[in-house]
Chain A
């Protein structure tokens, strides 16, 4: 091989160095690349983009699950009806409240836990490896765990409250109109805080130590170091986690549906559960789709605001 290369005439050698591959080979190369992508793109686009486009179309019709093949275009009627639907408005408010409070608290506690996990104390590796265990469980398992933990008469939480003399506080936490929403929030925190913490921890470890050394020499306090070194360096990962979890929380159906079904009454009703019920119990496919489209729009707005506020992209 080597000797053959050396013996090649000069011009051919130069052409080789310039990566002038014959056209036929180049076309085949590119075609092959596209071919590799065909199965994945067919599945992703065929099963996601097409239904989404069709869902947007459905939102302008009066399609019903009872007779899905006969429907009429009714323009924006579904949207107008949504705006005057009090339960839709309530679900909308709940969804926003849940998403914003969950994500804000997750970032806050995620940072604290990450800060604890980067400390080099004996046994820290055990804590690190256990951290994300709540994240991998099926959501139904998280729901069973929390409903069981807070059962009225023999759930651990209520038993402890009674033991320490706060028996009047013990209650059916998921069945109480004032606390059910809080329980949904707590489950979101429980599942996702460790994911934030581990991601933040990885990013913190990547911050060069001499930045901290220099700051210390300049007399920066712990607070200053946090505000002017740690947080700015975490901007990008914070943005990624926030966008990911706004989407997850805002779109999440399982937690509410499985834990409370939106109840008691409508105390925990959120957009995904309300829309689901409109489609599958109310048979109003067009109406439900309009709700879904509004969710998509709100989501885009939320994500855009986050990018503006945190602005990690520009910093990179």
Chain B
């Protein structure tokens, strides 16, 4: 009974994970093969065929390093800005007697549900009026605006769950209002801050739509745009494309490995609270 139960569970899991991880494994394996080896039609290459050649070549492509730098710079900035402003706002919503709190929270969350294509055109016009087209700052601001609603919502839930007695005690000890946020709430809500930051990072890192509109030169292009143009221009060089893709995946996976335990609790916190 116990054995058959386990057998069924493992078989089911094997099917799911084959579907989920199989295609990824094939990508990683292929990124370590030369184009000749990939096109040979053999499924498993000999160990001796494996090489880092594609990775070296990818970094030699004229603007690849620039793409990586832009992506890292933009996504990291978005992460810190979102966590900072998100936590400030959440602190306000959670700890201060504001009128119309529900309306404010709803207004902040609503844009998350608007079709991006509707926002896109006026967004472009707005950005060009502000002189922010094709600038890092414009992209950072854009990604901040699309990830901030979730961070605000989630962190408010997180802060609400922290007992008020803690900040009251700190206030009696002479802690200023801002110091309460940074000294008392930050350390306790760290897991929530990390998840909000992770979410912002991942969305910014993976965004194609807004970058495709706002970036008009190599100076501001990010990895998703670069990969897309590889896909179109390097048609047969799958070795390079797969290596480039693996490089684009690695940071998100490493970050994911760090936050994975808290991710779901964080992602559903706002939902469960309301």
**Cβ of B149 under 8 Å from chain A:** yes
**Cβ of A40 under 8 Å from chain B:** yes
Q: Which of A108-136 contact B (CB under 8 A)?
A: 109, 112-113, 116-117, 119, 121, 127, 129-134, 136
What residues on B are CB-neighbors of A212 within 8 Å?
Answer: none
In the complex formed, the residue of A with least CB distance to B231 is: A144
What residues on A are CB-neighbors of B265 within 8 Å?
Answer: 202
CB-contact partner of A47 in B21, B141, B242, B264, under 8 A: B141
**Cβ of B164 under 8 Å from chain A:** no
A190 lies within 8 A of B19 (CB): yes
Query: Separation in Å of the A54 CB from the closest CB of chain B?
Result: 4
Query: Separation in Å of the B262 CB from the closest CB of chain A?
Result: 11
A136 lies within 8 A of B92 (CB): no
**Cβ of A149 under 8 Å from chain B:** yes
B260 lies within 8 A of A127 (CB): no
A253 lies within 8 A of B23 (CB): no
What residues on A are CB-neighbors of B149 within 8 Å?
Answer: 44, 48
B209 lies within 8 A of A48 (CB): no
Known contacts A119-B9, A237-B271; A134 and B20 CB within 8 A of each other: yes
What residues on A are CB-neighbors of B141 within 8 Å?
Answer: 43, 47
| A49 and B22 alpha carbons, distance in the complex (Å) | 41
A148 lies within 8 A of B241 (CB): yes
In the complex formed, the residue of B with least CB distance to A155 is: B26
Known contacts A40-B85, A154-B39; A132 and B17 CB within 8 A of each other: no
B264 lies within 8 A of A199 (CB): yes
Known contacts A40-B152, A116-B9; A68 and B245 CB within 8 A of each other: no
Known contacts A136-B253, A141-B227; A33 and B23 CB within 8 A of each other: no
Known contacts A47-B123, A133-B253, A154-B41; A295 and B89 CB within 8 A of each other: no
In the complex formed, the residue of B with least CB distance to A35 is: B92
B223 lies within 8 A of A138 (CB): yes
B23 lies within 8 A of A190 (CB): yes
Query: Separation in Å of the B133 CB from the closest CB of chain A?
Result: 13
Query: Separation in Å of the B105 CB from the closest CB of chain A?
Result: 10
Query: Separation in Å of the B242 CB from the closest CB of chain A?
Result: 6
What residues on A are CB-neighbors of B231 within 8 Å?
Answer: 143-144, 147, 258
What residues on A are CB-neighbors of B125 within 8 Å?
Answer: 54, 68
Query: Separation in Å of the A186 CB from the closest CB of chain B?
Result: 9
Q: Which of B188-233 contact A (CB under 8 A)?
A: 202, 205-206, 208-209, 213, 223-224, 227-228, 231
B20 lies within 8 A of A194 (CB): yes
Q: Which of B100-114 contact A (CB under 8 A)?
A: 104, 107-108, 110-114
What residues on B are CB-neighbors of A43 within 8 Å?
Answer: 85, 141, 144-145, 148
CB-contact partner of B271 in A144, A240, A254, under 8 A: A240
**Cβ of A50 under 8 Å from chain B:** yes
Query: Separation in Å of the A257 CB from the closest CB of chain B?
Result: 8
Known contacts A40-B88, A132-B263, A136-B256; A50 and B122 CB within 8 A of each other: yes
B116 lies within 8 A of A253 (CB): yes
What residues on A are CB-neighbors of B111 within 8 Å?
Answer: 44-45, 48-49, 52
What residues on B are CB-neighbors of A131 within 8 Å?
Answer: 20
Q: Mark A265-283, 1 if CB is under 8 A from B, else 0.
A: 0000001100110011000
What residues on A are CB-neighbors of B16 within 8 Å?
Answer: 109, 113, 116, 193
What residues on A are CB-neighbors of B260 within 8 Å?
Answer: 129, 132
Query: Separation in Å of the A300 CB from the closest CB of chain B?
Result: 9
**Cβ of B160 under 8 Å from chain A:** no
What residues on A are CB-neighbors of B166 within 8 Å?
Answer: none
What residues on A are CB-neighbors of B27 within 8 Å?
Answer: 144-145, 148-149
B126 lies within 8 A of A47 (CB): yes
**Cβ of A58 under 8 Å from chain B:** yes
**Cβ of B249 under 8 Å from chain A:** yes
In the complex formed, the residue of B with least CB distance to A158 is: B41
Query: Separation in Å of the B254 CB from the closest CB of chain A?
Result: 10
CB-contact partner of A272 in B98, B116, B238, B264, under 8 A: B116
B145 lies within 8 A of A47 (CB): yes
**Cβ of A36 under 8 Å from chain B:** yes
CB-contact partner of A36 in B5, B89, B115, under 8 A: B89
In the complex formed, the residue of A with least CB distance to B99 is: A30
**Cβ of A172 under 8 Å from chain B:** no
Q: Mark B239-263, 1 if CB is under 8 A from A, else 0.
A: 0011001001100110110001101
In the complex formed, the residue of B with least CB distance to A47 is: B145
**Cβ of B120 under 8 Å from chain A:** yes
CB-contact partner of A30 in B98, B108, B223, under 8 A: B98
Among A43, A147, A160, A195: residue with most chain B CB under 10 A:
A43
**Cβ of A182 under 8 Å from chain B:** no
In the complex formed, the residue of A with least CB distance to B172 is: A1
B261 lies within 8 A of A129 (CB): yes
CB-contact partner of B248 in A127, A141, A296, under 8 A: A141
B92 lies within 8 A of A116 (CB): no
Query: Separation in Å of the A174 CB from the closest CB of chain B?
Result: 11
Interface locus among A7-15, A82-90, A223-231, A284-292: A284-292
In the complex formed, the residue of B with least CB distance to A189 is: B19
Name 11 A/B residue pairs within 8 A (Cβ), A-sorted.
Answer: A30-B97, A36-B91, A43-B148, A50-B122, A112-B12, A132-B256, A134-B24, A138-B252, A149-B22, A198-B263, A279-B121
**Inter-chain pairs besides A36-B91, A144-B27, 8 sampled, C-beta below 8 Å:** A45-B108, A46-B145, A121-B9, A132-B263, A136-B253, A144-B241, A289-B121, A295-B115
